[in-house]
Amino acid sequence: MPFELVDSHCHLDFPDFEGELDAIIARARAAGVTRMVSICTKLHREPVVRAIAEAHQGVYYTAGIHPMSAAEEPLTTVEELVALSRHPKFVGFGESGLDYHYTADSAAVQQVSLRIHIQAAQETHLPLVIHARAADEDMERILAEGMAVKPFPCVMHCFSSGRRLAEAALEMGFYLSMSGITTFPKSGELREIFAAAPLNRILVETDSPYLAPMPHRGKRNEPAYTAFTARKGAEVFGVTEEEFAAATTANFDRLFTKAKP
């Protein structure tokens, strides 16, 4: 039997999976991925993502506004996010954050949106799922400002930023999530950043349908492939695959308290 794993971040509502969800979820379970969190990136899609979670055992969901959509989507409110969070399968907020790689021109509205999501996490103590790209300095500052007002739980999803942001996030008590990027041959520096982190702050994810790990790089990703990233994670931390799976699953349960089995 494979070891129990959790895909802490996937996008099951994306068109890449249309008409195949039952088979995709079955393959995930066969690979040991017993639970997965489907991330909503645009709030008008929340009913669709919620319906997927309601229809499938072991599937949970979050909702928020992706930073790359912050300028296109109406700003949400803390009250709207908190109301959504009352659903029993709603386990966190986001993904939210900052992306200056593609959408630096909307930095100001991204920051406003991020602060709204932070406030929702502060009010409910449900975790915030952070997307960070090419915005390390602002990301560290805004998260630290929020923590100074009122602590909140958080995961740096698909972490691929610099060492300083990793260290700052860990100091704030946050989690770092490993994606398929950590399996790529040229990701040695990223693997070193993870290796310096405590294992009890690590999650694993696919971000599927994107970022398929080796040996599936360049193909459509899916939750079953969590196992490939976990295998590399065990190597990075110098533990067995079973130990890595047990640790990251326990970490997930500690952060995503509403998704405990």
* pLDDT per position as a tens digit, 204-228: 999 999 999 999 999 999 999 999 9
> Phi first, then psi: what are they for 64, rounded to 5°?
180, -170
CA distance between the termini of the chain: 19
- Structure tokens, 163: 């060492």
Neighbour-count burial of 123, counting CB atoms closer than 10 A to its CB (0-12 exposed, 13-18 middle, 19+ buried): middle
The domain that contains 53 carries what CATH number? Answer: 3.20.20.140
Q: What is the pLDDT of residue 1?
A: 53
Q: Is pTM, for the whole model, over 0.85?
A: yes
Q: How many domains does the chain have?
A: 1
- Mean pLDDT for 153-173 is 98
Q: What is the pLDDT of residue 2?
A: 76
How would residue 261 be classed by pLDDT, with cut points 50, 70 and 90? confident
CB–CB of 84/46 below 8 Å? yes
- Mean pLDDT for 155-159 is 98
Q: At what angle are helices 136-149 and 163-171 packed, to 10 degrees?
A: 10
Give residue 139's domain range: 5-259
Q: Give dist(CA 67, CA 42) in Å, integer.
A: 10
Q: Report DSSP letters for 35-75, one per residue.
A: EEEEEE-SGGGHHHHHHHHHHSTTEEEEE---GGGTTTSPP
Question: Residue 13: is its pLDDT beyond 70?
Answer: yes
Question: Residue 260: is its pLDDT beyond 70?
Answer: yes
Question: Residue 168: is its pLDDT beyond 60?
Answer: yes
- Mean pLDDT for 165-177 is 98
Range list of β-strands (E), 45-184: 59-63, 90-99, 128-133, 154-156, 175-178
Task: Provide the mean pLDDT of the chain.
Answer: 97
| Residues above pLDDT 90, as percent of the chain | 98
User: 101: Cβ–Cβ under 8 A, 6 or more apart, which residues?
Assistant: 133, 134
Q: For residue range 31-62, list pLDDT tens digits in order.
A: 999 999 999 999 999 999 999 999 999 999 99
| Residues above pLDDT 70, as percent of the chain | 100
- Mean pLDDT for 177-188 is 98
Q: What is the three-class DSSP state of 208? A: strand
Q: What is the pLDDT of residue 250?
A: 98
Question: Residue 181: is its pLDDT beyond 90?
Answer: yes
